[in-house]
Amino acid sequence: MNYQELYQFAASLAPISESEWQEFSQKFTLLTVDKGEILMKPGGDANAFYIVLKGILRNYDLDENGKEFTKVFRSAGGFVGPYSEILSKTPVRFFIQAVTSSTLLRFNYSDFEGMMEKYKSWEKLGRRLAEINFLEKENREWELMHLNADKRYLRFLEKHGALAAEIPQYQLASLLAISPEAFNRLIKKMKP
């Protein structure tokens, strides 16, 4: 994904002008991060967001025994950041990590908020992005409550099949809310 494709995506959600986009894009910081690099961790300041241009990021947490729980993976075009912490003005609660070497755009939510205050079209963009995020979370909760691990994995493959080969199996297992051993059994069972 490049800047123009990112602008086209934003403009498909709200009537963002090219001049408004140029104004906001001045706030971007371009980052290249290595595989495994941690971008955010619990206790940190909740203001930055990342847009994935290339690569894969994940948002995860650890329980008291060090077991990982992956909330979401984001690839090209995806946004990731501590949205609920920003809204509640609390410190970051989760980790954000580069699953693969990645190229990202970083921006401060306060800059995005400034654009929403200045332009009605950006307020609409913010609402549409929040709606998309809400729908994704609702679908994830529904899948966790109503589908077994096999069906959750098949749904992941339907939506993000190309990513599966790039994501370590233990991370996919944590997204599916199963152990790595159960994930291995699931993979073996699905092979023809």
Q: What is the pLDDT of residues 83-133, one digit of tens each?
A: 999 989 999 999 999 999 999 999 999 999 999 999 999 999 999 999 999
3-state class of 52 per DSSP? Answer: strand
Nearest to 52 by CA among 155, 143, 166: 166
What does the angle CA 105 – CA 138 – CA 95 come to, to the nearest 5 degrees?
40
**Count of CB atoms within 10 A of residue 159's CB?**
10
Torsion 189-191-148-170 (CA) sign? positive
Q: What is the spatial distance between Cα 138 and Cα 166, in angstroms, rounded to a whole number?
A: 25
Q: What is the spatial distance between Cα 162 and Cα 160, in angstroms, rounded to a whole number?
A: 6
What pLDDT, on a 0 to 100 scale, did the predictor assign at position 127? 94
Q: What is the spatial distance between Cα 112 and Cα 118, in angstroms, rounded to a whole number?
A: 10
Give the list of residues 6+ apart from residue 156 with CB closer than 8 angstroms, or none: 164, 172, 175, 176
pTM value is 0.87
